[in-house]
């Protein structure tokens, strides 16, 4: 079964597939959430933010029989890619995945973070694979489905998984409880992020647990009710006045 909105929106596979165990590690100077998703004997690391060598060594210590299948970044800001190079030094040539638009945007974003905040982020290097909407990242018995959500950056993505342990989405800095990520940094676009929030509301199941780039979690159902930015974006997509959604 697929969850689809209007024809221009992606169709997601919402049939539960595999079980995943998720760990969150808060790291880096702006307390980024790095997520480790394990399924069977494989794992994917989402947004390895900082001190990649330390992240990798702790992973090996805690999960000696689990192989890291990929390092996947939701967007190209330095606080979400800064641990990639270090993890690859320890783990070997683990594939590094990011969207095409943010692969091009990333070097400038890292430089901008250094100039703006004095945060020096190690260059993650060339991506192994460029992700687009409709792609999937498979590991163990699960797979992450790519949804393009520009606005915080030109190539931001959400990674959605329908699993036996519940629906989950790694949303990066696109969504925050009751709000959205910054759009005042280079590459940010306020109109785009509103549409991206509406897109998430349209295609992700209401019970989807949203794992955010900084801070606590929320669900799509809760944000549909309480997040005016998401409600506005959904109204734009559905072509309805906002007052009809109240």
What is the percent of the chain with per-residue pLDDT over 70, rounded to a whole number?
94
Tell which wins on pLDDT, 26 or 119. 26
Residue 121 pLDDT: 82
Please list, in sequence order, all residues whose beta carbon lies within 8 angstroms of the beta carbon of residue 173, skipping any fewer than 6 positions away: 74, 75, 77, 80, 152, 156, 181, 182, 212, 213, 214
Q: Is the predicted pLDDT of residue 54 greater than 70, yes or no?
A: yes
Tell which wins on pLDDT, 239 or 242. 239
Indicate the pairing of strand 67-72 with strand 42-46.
Answer: parallel
Residue 171 pLDDT: 98
Report residue 240's pLDDT band, with 50, 70 and 90 as the boundaries.
Answer: low
Report residue 188's pLDDT band, with 50, 70 and 90 as the boundaries.
Answer: confident
Indicate the pairing of strand 67-72 with strand 218-219.
Answer: unpaired
pLDDT, tens digit, for every residue of 97-126? 999 999 998 887 778 777 777 777 888 999
Q: Return the number of other C-beta atoms located less than 10 Å from residue 25's C-beta.
A: 21
Residue 1 pLDDT: 41
Residue 208 pLDDT: 98
Q: Is the predicted pLDDT of residue 28 greater than 80, yes or no?
A: yes
pTM over 0.85: yes
Q: Is the predicted pLDDT of residue 51 greater than 50, yes or no?
A: yes
Q: Give the span between the Cα atoms of 4 and 134, in whole angstroms.
A: 12
Residue 88 pLDDT: 97
- Would you call 243 helix, strand, or coil by DSSP? helix
């Amino acid at each position: 079964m697929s969850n689809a909105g209007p024809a221009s929106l992606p169709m997601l596979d919402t049939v539960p597939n595999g079980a995943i165990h998720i760990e969150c590690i808060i790291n880096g100077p702006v307390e980024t959430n790095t997520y480790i998703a394990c399924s069977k004997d494989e794992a994917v690391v989402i947004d390895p933010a900082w001190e990649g060598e330390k992240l990798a060594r702790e992973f090996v210590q805690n999960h000696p029989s689990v192989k890291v299948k990929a390092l996947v970044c939701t967007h190209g800001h330095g606080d979400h890619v800064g641990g990639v190079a270090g993890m690859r030094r320890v783990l070997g040539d683990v594939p590094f995945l990011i969207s095409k638009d943010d692969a091009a945007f990333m070097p400038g974003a890292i430089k901008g973070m250094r100039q703006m905040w004095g945060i020096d982020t190690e260059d993650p290097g060339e991506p192994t694979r460029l992700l687009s909407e409709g792609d999937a990242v498979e590991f163990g018995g699960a797979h992450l489905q790519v949804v393009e959500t520009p606005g915080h950056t030109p190539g931001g993505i959400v990674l959605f998984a329908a699993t036996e342990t519940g629906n989950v989405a790694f949303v990066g800095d696109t969504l925050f409880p009751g709000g959205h990520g910054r759009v005042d940094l280079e590459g940010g676009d306020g109109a785009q992020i509103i549409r991206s929030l509406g897109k998430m509301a349209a295609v992700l199941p209401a019970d989807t647990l949203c794992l955010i780039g900084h801070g606590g979690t929320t669900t799509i159902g809760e944000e549909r009710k309480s997040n005016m930015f998401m409600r506005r974006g959904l109204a734009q997509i559905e072509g309805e006045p906002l007052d009809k959604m109240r």
